[in-house]
Amino acid sequence: MGVPPATGGSREDEMSHHEAPADRFRYDAYELDPANAQLTCRYSVGDRHFFEQVTFAPGGDWGSAATAAAARLVFLLAGVSYYKTSAPPVVDLGETATTADERRFLRTFYTEGLAEFAHRNRLDLQATEFVGPDLARRDPAAGARADGRPLVPFGGGIDSIVTAEAVGARHPGASLFVVSKFGDRFEAIDRAAAATGLPVVRAEREVDPTVVRSAELGYLNGHVPVTGILSAVAVMAAVLGGHDAVVMSNEWSSSFGNVVVDGRAVNHQWSKGLEFEEGFRRVLADTLDPAPEYFSLLRPRSELWVAARFAALDRYHRVFRSCNRAFHIDRAKRLDRWCGRCDKCCFIDLILSPFLPPAALAAVFDGREPLADPSLADRFRALLSVGAGAKPFECVGEERECRAAVRLAAARPDRAATPLLQALAAEVGPAPDGEDPDVLLAPLGPHCIPDAYAPEAQLV
């Protein structure tokens, strides 16, 4: 099916600060363009129209029912980025028929995935109404997949590196999966990807340009559950490429919230958590037959354990990057090094400090190791939930594993002369029940790892 020229979202007469918001967000249509290996999704709020395009690697059966079914999932999940521009009370699914289970999952995806957005904008999304054609049941679309060809979404940080190492060691047919902005690549991801030695399957995602102009156009702004959207994109890539699994790298602590508001947890990482993983797996099982296995290999593992494993992978120590400044949308503002000051830099330094000597971490941060900077004490206190600081709205570990990391690192002889670390260790004090490093370094909690991938779970 051909895709018309993408004109949505380019209007100059968008909603101003003084214009009343439309009362509903509408899913308009999605279109497949096999000639350009492209999916276009269209949405609207009143007279404002948005589009999103995802371009995949060439190849695959673009005429299959499985490809169309996978595209539909991308369409459903990607809409959240445009709904948030005004967060109207009604989500209109247009002509897209959904089952009761799909609507339940979609509602949860919106309310939990946008919980941080709602909290920051002082909104209540719990009463949001979802309307559209009802489908009594869905017959899964038949597809094909080749065992032993997993796809590993890869972001260049310690989690995805550990997963790639484990999966690649057992599956010669494994590939990394990287999503970037249209016409752009992140060097921070590509350098680490090259170090794995695995082939890379790519997709390019173009978000409607007006969303980037949110402040200028008077749109609401805030965090969206991007991992959920990219998970759907990865599943579509897996269907097109005949991959048997999408292997994520989301660990145990991503299921824990940042703050509790009116009795509900607000979790910056909700779409990395177990609730999303289980719900998405159910939707996949009802959509595709067979569906690619979707699971996180690190689900029963803490970030403390992941850091211990990563510390032994020394060839990655100078190429990995988790600092958000390396992934700035504006290339002119993108750093080619760690900034050494943000919450992500502080967390990575802290979680690796029990397992790497100070000189090694100083090299990672190009001489700007956060633990060597006393002015960052309050950032570390927030990670540890010491004092008034709350866990930052970032992809960082849970307070118990951060405290365990402080205690372990402070006990290292080569850290006796790190005043900030010693002061933090004194503030957190001895380990109570639940913060014993031996507990946090052992498997934790439930997971969805299929039996076929259990050996990889043991490798990591």
pLDDT of residue 323: 86
Lowest mean pLDDT among 50-59, 86-95, 209-218, 382-391: 382-391
pLDDT of residue 457: 60
Q: Is 403 helix (H, G, I), strand (E, B) or coil?
A: helix
Q: Is 90 helix (H, G, I), strand (E, B) or coil?
A: strand
Residue 434, exposed/middle/buried by CB under 10 A (0-12, 13-18, 19+)? exposed
Residue linked to tokens 């941080």: 116
Residue type, 433: D
Please give the Cα distance from 287 to 141 (Å, whole number). 6
Which helix (H) or strand (E) element contains residue 137? none
Name residues whose C-beta falls within 8 Å of residue 451's C-beta, 6 or more positions apart in sequence.
Answer: none
Please give the Cα distance from 369 to 351 (Å, whole number). 13
Over the stretch 164-218, which tens digit does the pLDDT of each residue have? 999 999 999 999 999 998 888 778 899 999 999 999 999 999 999 999 888 899 9
Over the stretch 265-319, which tens digit does the pLDDT of each residue have? 989 999 999 999 999 999 999 999 999 999 999 999 999 999 999 999 999 999 9
Mean pLDDT of the chain: 90
Where does 275-411 show beta strands of DSSP type E?
288-289, 293-296
Q: Is 198 helix (H, G, I), strand (E, B) or coil?
A: coil
Supply φ then ψ for residue 148, to 5 degrees: 80, 15
pLDDT of residue 373: 95
Q: Is the pLDDT of residue 11 over 60?
A: no
Domain limits, the chain: 24-131, 147-212+222-302+446-459, 304-324+337-440
CB 435 within 8 A of CB 342: no
Start-to-end CA distance of the chain, whole Å, equals 43
pLDDT of residue 459: 54
CB 90 within 8 A of CB 24: yes
Over the stretch 23-81, which tens digit does the pLDDT of each residue have? 899 999 999 999 999 999 999 999 999 999 999 999 999 999 999 999 999 999 999 99
Q: Is the pLDDT of residue 106 over 60?
A: yes
Q: Is 12 helix (H, G, I), strand (E, B) or coil?
A: coil
CB 97 within 8 A of CB 132: yes
Give the pLDDT band (50/70/90) at residue 13.
very low
DSSP 3: -
DSSP track, 308-347: HHHHT-GGGTTT----GGGG-SSGGG--SS--SSSHHHHH
pLDDT of residue 15: 35
147-212+222-302+446-459 is classed CATH 3.40.50.720: no
Please give the Cα distance from 86 to 69 (Å, whole number). 28
